[in-house]
Amino acid sequence: MAKRKTKYVCQECGYESARWMGKCPGCNNWNTLVEEVDSPSKNGRHTSIGSSLNPQSRPEKITTIESDKEPRITTKMKEFNRVLGGGVVPGSLVLIGGDPGIGKSTLLLQISSQLADKQLPVLYISGEESAKQTKLRADRLAIKSDLLYVLAETNLYDISNQISILKPSFVVIDSIQTIFKEEVTSAPGSVSQVRECTSELMKIAKSNGIPIFIVGHVTKEGSIAGPRLLEHMVDAVLYFEGERHHTYRILRGVKNRFGSTNEMGIFEMKEEGLKEVMNPSEIFLEERSQGAAGSTVVASMEGTRPVLVEIQALISPSSFGNPRRMATGIDNNRVPLLMAVLEKRVGLMLQNQDAYVKVAGGVKLDEPAIDLAIAVSIASSFRDQPTKPDDIFVGEVGLTGEIRRVSRIEQRVQEAAKLGFKRVFCPKRNLGGWTPPSSIQIVGVNTVQEALDIGVSR
C-alpha cells in the first residue's frame, strides 16, 4: 500500500512546503500553513490546474485567427453594465467579493432575474443557503421568473452535471469557498479546493460559452480570501463596497479583461433591493454644509465618468509633541506630503497642527488630480476661511508647489457646469485645445500659492 503523502499549504498565498513552518516564506504571515493530502489522479499523475481547455488545439498564426466579436448580454442595470465594460461577455468568469451582508447575493439574484426575464435560462447555485432561503429573498425582491433555477449544492461534480443538463445561459456560484471537488482531500474553502474548483468552472465557462459569476469571501483586511492565483485565473474581479449602516453601495472593477478597470457603479440599498444611482455627484454633495471652512469640491474621474465629491479637512492645534495625520478615503501618505508642501512653499505653520482629512460619502479616491482640493481644504481650515460654495478645484500638486496638468479636463468641467458650479480652478496647462461651457468660469493656476490667493481669502 502506497504511503500517503502530505504537504503544508499556506491559506493566504498558496505557498507549498514539505514540512510545517510557523511563518510562511511566501507572504510572511504566521500560522497559515495547513496540512493537506497530496492525492494523485487516477492515471498516476497529479492534478494540475494548467491542463488545456482544448487538448486538440494547435498553434495558429495570429493573422489567421478570426476575431469574432460576440454581442454582450446587457442587464437593466446600466451601472452594472458600465462596470463590466458594456455588459456580460459570454464565456467569461467573473469574481465578486465584498464584506458579509453588503449585498452580493442580492445584487446577483436581481441580475439573474433580469436575464431570466429576457428568456435566458439562469442557474443560481447556492452553497450557503437552502433553496427555501433563496426563495424568501426572491419574494422580498419581487422576483417571479420561470427561467430562474435555484440549486442548493456544493459538490462540483453534481454542479457540472446540472449545468450540462440544463444548459443555462448564465450561472451564479454563491460562494466559491463552499464548493468542493471530491478528488481533492482538503476541506472546502482551502487553497487547493478553491484553486481546483475555479479551474473546473473556468473550463466550463470557456468551452460552453456560459458566463459564470462566482462570489468570494473577503479577509479582515478587505481582500478576497484564498490564493492570489484566484484573481489571476478569472476574467474580471469586482469589489462590492460600502458601509453596512449606510444605504449606498459601490461596485468597483479592479480587473477586467473586457473593459476598463477604473469604472465604478453606485447603488442604493432599499427594501425592494438595490436601485442604481444615475447621478452620484448629487448624492455625494446633497448634505454639504454651505460656508464651512475646510470644505472643497473636486471633480474626480472614476473610469470614464466624472464624479463630484466633497473633501473635508479639519486642522486643530496639537496637544502632543507628535501631531496626528489621519485620512479617510484617500492615501494616508498624501496628507503629510501636501502639508509639507503648504508649509515649505506657502508658509503655513502646520508642524504643530493635527490634521484630519475625509472624503464625504464613503467613496475612495486615488488619482493625483485631487491634490489641489486637499491642499485648499487644509489651508481653508487652518485659516478658518471658507471657499466659495460654487468653486471646484482640480489639479496635481508637485513637491515644488506647481500645479500639474490632469487628464479628461473637458468631462470634469462639463459635469461641474451641469450641477450649477460657477468656477473651476485647474492647471493653466490644461486650458488650451478645448472650449469650456459659457456658464462656468475657468481659472488657470500655476502654483498652490496662486490658487490659495484667489480661492481662499485671508
Domain 283-455 falls under CATH 3.30.230.10: yes
Looking at per-residue pLDDT, the higher value among 319 and 354 belongs to 354
H or E element in which residue 156 lies: helix 156-166
Q: Report pLDDT for 156.
A: 95
Residue 363 CA to residue 265 CA, distance in Å, equals 11
SS3 423: strand
**HEC-encoded secondary structure of 119-138:** CCCEEEEECCCCHHHHHHHH
Residue 375 CA to residue 451 CA, distance in Å, equals 10
Q: Report pLDDT for 224.
A: 72
pLDDT (tens digit, 9 = 90+) per residue, 233-285? 899 999 998 866 678 888 988 899 988 887 888 899 988 899 998 888 888 88
Q: Count Cβ atoms within 10 A of the Cβ of residue 27 and give its class: 0-12 exposed, 13-18 middle, 19 or more buried.
A: middle
Mean pLDDT, rounded, of the chain: 88
Q: Please, which residues have CB within 8 angstroms of residue 418's CB and are 6 or more apart in sequence?
A: none
- Of the chain, the percentage scoring pLDDT greater than 70 comes to 91
SS3 content of the chain, % helix, strand, coil (to 5): 25, 25, 45
In the predicted structure, residue 48 carries a pLDDT above the cut 60: no
Backbone angles phi, psi at 48, to 5 degrees: -135, 140
- Least confident stretch, 54-58, 192-196, 199-203, 433-437: 54-58
Q: Report pLDDT for 457.
A: 65
H or E element in which residue 453 lies: helix 448-455
Nearest to 101 by CA among 78, 75, 128: 128
Q: Report pLDDT for 2.
A: 56
In the predicted structure, residue 426 carries a pLDDT above the cut 90: yes
pLDDT tier at 189 (50, 70, 90 boundaries)?
confident
Residue 357 CA to residue 216 CA, distance in Å, equals 32
pLDDT tier at 225 (50, 70, 90 boundaries)?
low
pLDDT (tens digit, 9 = 90+) per residue, 135-176? 999 999 999 889 999 999 999 999 999 999 999 999 999 989
Backbone angles phi, psi at 272, to 5 degrees: -90, 10
In the predicted structure, residue 45 carries a pLDDT above the cut 50: no
Cα distances (Å, whole numbers) of residue 220 to 12, 98, 244, 328, 363:
12, 11, 15, 18, 19
Q: Which residues are annotated as a binding site for ATP?
A: 98-105
In single-letter form, the type of residue at position 402 comes to E
pLDDT (tens digit, 9 = 90+) per residue, 53-69? 455 668 888 888 877 66
Q: Please, which residues have CB within 8 angstroms of residue 228's CB and are 6 or more apart in sequence?
A: 13, 14
**HEC-encoded secondary structure of 278-310:** CCHHHHHHCCCCCCCCCEEEEEEEECCEEEEEE
- Of the chain, the percentage scoring pLDDT greater than 90 comes to 59
Task: Note the pTM of the prediction, 2 decimals.
Answer: 0.78
pLDDT (tens digit, 9 = 90+) per residue, 56-115? 668 888 888 877 667 899 999 999 999 998 899 999 999 999 888 889 999 999 999 999
Q: Report pLDDT for 39.
A: 59
Looking at per-residue pLDDT, the higher value among 207 and 29 belongs to 207
Given the DSSP bridges, would you call strands 305-317 and 441-445 parallel, antiparallel or unpaired?
Answer: unpaired
> What sign does the CA torsion over 26, 30, 32, 37 have?
positive
Number of residues in the chain:
458
Q: Which residues are annotated as a binding site?
A: 98-105
Which of the following CATH numbers is that of domain 78-278: 1.10.3720.10, 2.60.40.1220, 3.40.50.300, 3.40.190.10? 3.40.50.300
315: which 3 cell numbers? Answer: 486642522
pLDDT (tens digit, 9 = 90+) per residue, 370-390? 999 999 999 999 999 999 999
